[in-house]
Amino acid sequence: MNSSDGSQQLTLLYSRTQIQQRVTELAKAIADDYPGPGLVVVGVLNGAVVFLADLLRAFRQDVRLGFVSVSSYGTSAESSGAPAIQIQSDLPLVGEDVLIVEDILDTGLSMTLLCQAIQARSPASLRICVLIDKRQRRLHAVKTDYVGFELSSGFVVGYGMDYAERYRSLPDIFSIDVTDPECGNDGDPKLG
Ligand code: IMP
Ligand code: MG
């Protein structure tokens, strides 16, 4: 149900306090696993930027930082082909311990392709940290190493995550009612 100004209905899902607590726990778990410096942290643009910034600030040790992007692929994972992966050209990957930081795992297609692209550069190790795991929607198996929250259904925005490039700057995470005719068959747009 949309309001008269075109905004969708938002329902608070995770407050900024809950998020910060979970991010602190994740950072500690990661730091315990990588006690030395040199971890290469790879953020997936654009949605993971806010999560990644908070995660980095919760670390104690030095890390190296880079970004990759995964192109959007329409409203259905099946309908519009594979997303393209772009890796920052000077990102050190060969022989490095690499940690991918992503906002959401949904069908797992983006992450599967991203992992393949990074594995092709022969890192020493590769792990995955996601803020939100929609495990029940998985179509492509992905082994996660650090998961913030598991979500069984719905579309979420805020804390860097968008719906049609809206709502990224909200400090909390909301579920959004996108079951309207403008946003595809199942109200599940892949928009960034
Ligand atoms: P997948 O390839 O199906 O796993 O899709 C993952 C990508 O879809 C994420 O990186 C997000 O960009 C986007 N996505 C999936 N679900 C949501 C959501 O609930 N809110 C915002 N973006 C989402
Ligand atoms: Mg994304």
pLDDT means per 10 residues, the chain with 192 residues, are 68 98 98 94 98 94 94 55 88 97 96 97 98 96 98 96 96 88 46 49
The pTM is what?
0.90
Task: Determine the atom of ligand 1 nearest the C-alpha atom of 105.
Answer: 4
User: SS3 string of the chain?
Assistant: CECCCCCECEEEEECHHHHHHHHHHHHHHHHHHCCCCCEEEEEEECCCHHHHHHHHHHCCCCEEEEEEEECCCECCCCCCCCCCEEECCCCCCCCCEEEEEEEEECCCHHHHHHHHHHHCCCCCEEEEEEEEECHHHCCCCCCCCEEEEECCCCEEEECCECECCECCCCCCEEEECCCCHHHCCCCCCECC
Placement of tokens 């410096």 in the chain: 37
Task: Determine the atom of ligand 1 nearest the C-alpha atom of 151.
Answer: 19
Concerning whether 106 is annotated as a catalytic residue, the answer is: yes
* Residue 165, pLDDT score: 94
Q: Whose CA is nearest to atom 14 of ligand 1?
A: 190
* Residue 78, pLDDT score: 44
* Residue 119, pLDDT score: 97
Task: Determine the atom of ligand 1 nearest the C-alpha atom of 137.
Answer: 3
* Residue 179, pLDDT score: 72
Question: CA-to-CA distance for 95 and 115, rounded, in angstroms?
Answer: 15
Q: Say how many Å lie between the CA of residue 83 and the centre of ligand 2.
A: 11
Ligand 1 — pocket residues by CB below 6 A? Answer: 47, 77, 102-111, 155-157, 161, 190, 192
* Residue 185, pLDDT score: 36
* Residue 82, pLDDT score: 78
* Residue 182, pLDDT score: 45
* Residue 3, pLDDT score: 58
